[in-house]
Structure 1
Amino acid sequence: MAADPQSLRARKQPRQARAELTRQRILTAAAHVFAEHGYAAGTTNRIAERARISIGSLYQYYPNKDAILLELVTRHLDAGAVLLKERQDGDQPEALEAIVRAFVRVVIDNHLDDPKLLQVMAEQAPRAPELLERMARTEREQVDFTRDLLARHPEVHVTDIDTAARLVVSTEQLVHQLLAAPRSVDARRLEDELVAMLTRYLTAAPVPD
């Protein structure tokens, strides 16, 4: 459900170290409260109490808990984008399986937070227009990079490179879903299975007509 952008904007942009520390305390407290109590019961009063500040001080920074959750989601996306950018800018392994493993590991490592918090972010985060556009733009950039990489790698035999790139990038959504599920899977086992699945798909010889 789309949300009113004005109701989701942080009210106070910290300009001093003390104010930034207060905002960090609010976000850290909110992450714990949402994970422990869920989103419905994760009230701003509980967040303020956990952060050891007054409710009035909290409202100086965020108008409501939706805005706080949106900030947590944005920071989660930022962390993932930084990790993927570092992978893209670094030297790529020669073997395709090693390339795939590096990508899968980055995605999984960015989702090793508390699974309950991940579930809250996945299911309850307000769909602000800026967030949706940001997610779409990031996905396009990742697909473009992956498409170029697959197109020039000698081990790749899949015929539809564009679709293959989209499938590889969509692995991030699958990881998010599996690690945030009530019955979570082992992260390292998930890594091995995803690497095997993607590598076999990308290197399989095309079936003749």
Structure 2
Amino acid sequence: MGRGHMPIGRRERAKQDKRERIMTAARELFAAHGVSGVTTQRIAHRADVAIGTLYLYASTKAELLIMLQNEEFAAAIDSGLAAANAAVGQGVLEQVIALIRPVVECLREHTENGRTYLHELVFGDPAEPYRQAGLALAGRLEDGITGLLTRNECIDAADAATLARVITAIIHISTTATLYLHRSDEAVLADIRDQIHATLMPQHGAA
């Protein structure tokens, strides 16, 4: 019985190995050249797999980018939530900034890739599994912001959810607009902070 399971285990290990090689190759090439400067054939060659094998894991270059960025986006949200919890007592504005800082840095690590990722999430097929995962992460970020805002007694749950959507829209524009591409992360974060502060001001001193 044990021997009957071994071939399946080997196949699964082989599949996992190929996936990791593809992901590593895509990560290195996207980081070096940007998503527009890389082809799926080049990724397959770097990963030492046939192009048909690559397509078993991601049918397009955009899907590969989403797969990679989802991992980084998830890690950034985790870091941001931890930082926000550590900032308790500093006011809701500073807690929100602590949450979004790693996210902004993640999206701007390679500006072309970050812009393409967000564009694909917004305008791509929401039924595609990798996009579904990315949209779920965006929802998790929004929920995290909502939770922070409700810590302020002047903001009720409904207003907090609306404000969180506004804040995520601010993040999206500030990390994708051509106008901001050549600014530093700190400059972009400072601008985002000013916009969030202005958004929260009417909430009876919520900032």
Normalised to the residue count of structure 2, the TM-score between the two structures is: 0.66
| Amino acid aligned to 1:190 | V
- Deviation of residue 35 (structure 1)? 0.8
Aligned length: 189
1:201 aligned residue (186, 199, 203): 199
How far apart, in 2, do the equivalents of 1:152 and 1:182 lie?
31
Distance of aligned partners of 1:203 and 1:80 in 2 relative to their CA distance in 1, 3 Å threshold: same
Distance of aligned partners of 1:135 and 1:32 in 2 relative to their CA distance in 1, 3 Å threshold: closer
| Amino acid aligned to 1:116 | E
1:112 aligned residue (104, 108, 113): 108
| Amino acid aligned to 2:195 | M
Answer 1 or 2: higher relative contact order, Cα 8 Å, separation at least 6.
1
* Per-residue deviation, residues 70-116 of structure 1 (Å, max 9, x unmatched): 32233233233322343455452432342233133222222232212
How far apart, in 2, do the equivalents of 1:18 and 1:70 lie?
19
Unaligned stretches of 5+ in structure 1? Answer: 1-11
Q: Is the 8 A contact 2:65 2:117 kept in 1?
A: yes
How far apart, in 2, do the equivalents of 1:25 and 1:138 lie?
22
Distance of aligned partners of 1:140 and 1:84 in 2 relative to their CA distance in 1, 3 Å threshold: same
Identity, % of aligned pairs?
12
List structure 1 runs of 4+ shifted beyond 6 angstroms: none
1:187 aligned residue (180, 185, 188): 185
Distance of aligned partners of 1:14 and 1:114 in 2 relative to their CA distance in 1, 3 Å threshold: farther
* Between structures 1 and 2, the one with greater helix share: 2
How far apart, in 1, do the equivalents of 2:83 and 2:163 lie?
19
* Per-residue deviation, residues 7-63 of structure 1 (Å, max 9, x unmatched): xxxxx8656985565234322244147617x1xx632222234x2625359538635
Distance of aligned partners of 1:172 and 1:47 in 2 relative to their CA distance in 1, 3 Å threshold: same
Q: In structure 2, what is the equivalent of residue 162 of structure 1?
A: 161
Unaligned stretches of 5+ in structure 2? Answer: 1-10
Normalised to the residue count of structure 1, the TM-score between the two structures is: 0.65
